[in-house]
Amino acid sequence: MGRMVALTLITFFGAIICCSWTKSIPNAPTPNIIIMLMDDMGWGDLGVFGQPSKETPNLDAMAAEGMLLPNFYTANPLCSPSRAALLTGRLPIRNGFYTTNAHARNAYTPQEIVGGISKDEILLPQLLKTKGYVSKIVGKWHLGHRPQYLPLKNGFDEWFGSPNCHFGPYNDQSKPNIPVYNNSEMLGRFYEDFKIDRNTGESNLTQIYLMEGLDFILRQTKAQQPFFLYWAVDATHAPVYASKRFLGKSQRGRYGDAVMELDYSIGQILKWLRTLGIDNNTFVFFTSDNGAAVMSGPNESGSNGPFLCGKETTFEGGMREPAIAWWPGHIKEGSVNFQLANVMDLFTTSLVLAGINPPDDRILDGLDLTPVLLNSSQPLKNRPIFYYRGNELMAVRLGQYKAHYWTWSNSWEEFKKGINFCPGEEVPNVTTHEQKEHTLQPLIFHLGRDPGEKFPLRSEYQDALSRISAVVQQHKDTLVPGIPQLNMCDIAVMYLKNTCYARCVLGKNNSFFNKLSFLMKNVIQG
Which of 14, 31, 44, 226 contacts a copy of itself by CB under 8 A? 44
Cβ proximity of 92 and 75 under 8 Å:
yes
Q: How far is the CB of 46 from a copy of itself (least distance, A)?
A: 9
For the beta sheet containing 392-398, the strands, ordered from the edge strand earlier in sequence to the opposite edge, are 385-389, 392-398, 401-404, 443-446
Which of 110, 147, 169, 253 contacts a copy of itself by CB under 8 A? 253
Does 252 interact with a copy of itself (rule: CB under 8 A)?
A: yes
Site string for a copy of itself, 394-433 (x = CB under 8 A): ------x----------------------xxxxx--x---
Looking at beta carbons only, is 164 or 250 nearer to a copy of itself?
250
Does 13 interact with a copy of itself (rule: CB under 8 A)?
A: no
**142 noted as active-site residue:** yes
Q: How far is the CB of 130 from a copy of itself (least distance, A)?
A: 38
Which of 88, 154, 250, 268 contacts a copy of itself by CB under 8 A? 250
Cβ-based neighbours of 131, under 8 Å, separated by 6 or more: 30, 226, 354, 355, 356
CA dihedral 276, 277, 283, 286 (to 10 degrees): 50
Q: Which residue spans within 104-219 are E strands per DSSP? A: 134-140, 158-162, 179-182, 185-189
Q: How far is the CB of 167 from a copy of itself (least distance, A)?
A: 22
User: What is d(CA 254, CA 200) in angstroms, rounded to the nearest whole number?
Assistant: 9
Which H/E stretch holds residue 88? Answer: helix 79-88
Which of 306, 328, 359, 371 contacts a copy of itself by CB under 8 A? 306
Residue 289 marked in a binding site: yes
- The DSSP symbol for 190 reads B
Does 297 interact with a copy of itself (rule: CB under 8 A)?
A: yes
Which H/E stretch holds residue 477? Answer: helix 461-478
Q: How far is the CB of 212 from a copy of itself (least distance, A)?
A: 30
Does 446 interact with a copy of itself (rule: CB under 8 A)?
A: yes
Q: How far is the CB of 320 from a copy of itself (least distance, A)?
A: 8
Cβ proximity of 389 and 81 under 8 Å:
no
The closest alpha carbon to 104, from 361, 245, 313, belongs to: 313
By DSSP bridging, strand 179-182 and strand 185-189 are antiparallel
19, 103, 142, 475: the catalytic one is 142
Residue 263 marked in a binding site: no
User: What is d(CA 461, CA 403) in angstroms, rounded to the nearest whole number?
Assistant: 10
Stretch binding a copy of itself (CB under 8 A), from 21-29, 133-141, 452-460, 476-484: 452-460
Which of 8, 101, 148, 251 contacts a copy of itself by CB under 8 A? 251
**Count of beta carbons in the 10 Å neighbourhood of residue 498:** 18
Cβ proximity of 115 and 485 under 8 Å:
yes
Stretch binding a copy of itself (CB under 8 A), from 5-13, 138-146, 226-234, 297-305: 297-305
Size of the site for a copy of itself (CB under 8 A): 43
Q: Which amino acid is at 72?
A: F
DSSP symbols for 46-62 = SGGGT-TT---HHHHHH
Which of 132, 248, 298, 507 contacts a copy of itself by CB under 8 A? 298
User: What is d(CA 164, CA 144) in angstroms, rounded to the nearest whole number?
Assistant: 8
**79 noted as active-site residue:** yes
Site string for a copy of itself, 324-363 (x = CB under 8 A): ------------x-x-------------------------
Residue 79 marked in a binding site: yes
18, 79, 165, 422: the catalytic one is 79
By DSSP bridging, strand 324-326 and strand 282-288 are antiparallel
**Count of beta carbons in the 10 Å neighbourhood of residue 275:** 20
CB burial readout 405-429, b (16+ within 10 A) else e: bbbbbbeeeeeeeeebbbbebebee
Does 80 interact with a copy of itself (rule: CB under 8 A)?
A: no
The closest alpha carbon to 391, from 136, 137, 99, 135, belongs to: 99
Stretch binding a copy of itself (CB under 8 A), from 135-143, 166-174, 302-310, 508-516: 302-310
Which of 159, 230, 255, 326 contacts a copy of itself by CB under 8 A? 255
Looking at beta carbons only, is 184 or 400 nearer to a copy of itself?
400
Q: Which residues are annotated as a binding site?
A: 39-40, 79, 289-290
Q: Which residues bind a copy of itself (CB under 8 A)?
A: 44, 47, 49-54, 68, 70-71, 250-253, 255-256, 297-299, 303, 305-306, 308, 336, 338, 400, 423-427, 430, 446-455
Q: Which residues are annotated as a binding site for Ca(2+)?
A: 39-40, 79, 289-290
Q: Which amino acids are annotated catalytic?
A: 79, 142
